[in-house]
Amino acid sequence: MLVRFYTDWVVLLFIFGQLVDIIKEVYQQGKVRFFSNNWNYLAIATVTSFLLHVVIWWTGRAALIEKLDSMTWESHAKDQSYTIVLISEFLNSVNTIFWSLFGQIDPGSFKIAEGEYDIISKTGITLFGAFNLIAVLVALNMLIAILNDSYVQITANLDTEWKFNRTKLWLSWVYKESVLPPPFNLLYLSLPFLWVMKRVMTACCSKRVLLLFKKFLKKRPKSTWKVRRINEKERREVIRHLILRNLAKKSYHPETGTELNASQGESDHEHETTVFFANSGLQASQSNGIATMETTKM
């Protein structure tokens, strides 16, 4: 009973970590981008149903136990004979159906020695054969369709898909809150509490006490506006180089890999680059030189 109690709390802690992770994803990605993925609906439904189950179970636990106890003693008083339901029969049936998908079953095991159960034996063999036929056909067709569709989608946008998934994987580890999976991400919830305790100790404690916690209360130097401006310039420069590299990549033919017409390709590339940097507010004076350099490297 004690092990079951701790197990329930561990599962509840894990689900609470999943809930915190979902809230974080909604805050970081936004509502539109988050709900555009259908798998997120499944995650929300799973967490919500589990939390509702826990709430209902805890609220009705006492009343349910009392009611079942009274019903049990009432049944004991009325009738002393009980019909025992063999749960092992159901488990054996599930075990048989599962291993039959892999061909590990003997059809002779469905035969019943008693003659009065002959119709039941024949019906069971018929249903079992229909189950295996449908399971094999459906599983095989679904597997072929899924693999074919995945191969077509991947080969159609091979370079784009690879870059997108690589960037998505990078961005998933950019945020500090995404370092640990649930339920260990709950450790980050202690940071605001520690910050409040630090402020309270700084305001209430004496200087002698603060000297003991000097390492913990040491303030980090704040970045000035010049440092933030330099970081912003570096970020915009990296984005500009990535865009120019993508535009230079598109200037090649996607099928044969040969370069397009020189004059038309350069003019189109220059026009796209100029329009993009004009709309984004970046400097377009150096775009042609950088684009030529990126094209030469590739």
* Integer Cα distance of 275 and 280 in angstroms: 9
Q: What is the pLDDT of residue 210?
A: 66
Task: Tell which wins on pLDDT, 235 or 84.
Answer: 235
> 291 with 248: CB under 8 angstroms?
yes
Q: How far is CA 81 from CA 73, 78, 88, 147, 211, in A?
A: 14, 9, 21, 57, 77
Q: What percent of the chain has pLDDT over 90?
A: 0
Model confidence pLDDT, tens digit, residues 93-139: 777 777 777 776 766 666 666 666 677 777 877 888 888 888 888 88
Banded pLDDT at 193 (limits 50, 70, 90): confident
- In this predicted structure, which of 58-62, 160-164, 291-295 has the lowest mean pLDDT? 291-295
> 186 with 13: CB under 8 angstroms?
yes
Which pTM was predicted? 0.37
Model confidence pLDDT, tens digit, residues 175-192: 555 567 777 777 777 777
- Whole-number mean pLDDT of the chain? 69
Q: What is the pLDDT of residue 61?
A: 72
Q: What is the pLDDT of residue 68?
A: 66
First to last CA, the chain: 66
**Residues near 209 by Cβ (< 8 Å), separated by ≥ 6?**
201
Q: What does DSSP assign to residue 82?
A: -
Q: What is the pLDDT of residue 298?
A: 46
- In 3-state terms, what secondary structure has residue 259? strand
Chain-centroid distance of CA 272 in Å reads 37
The tokens for 132 are 């295996």
How many CB atoms sit inside 10 A of residue 267's CB?
Answer: 11
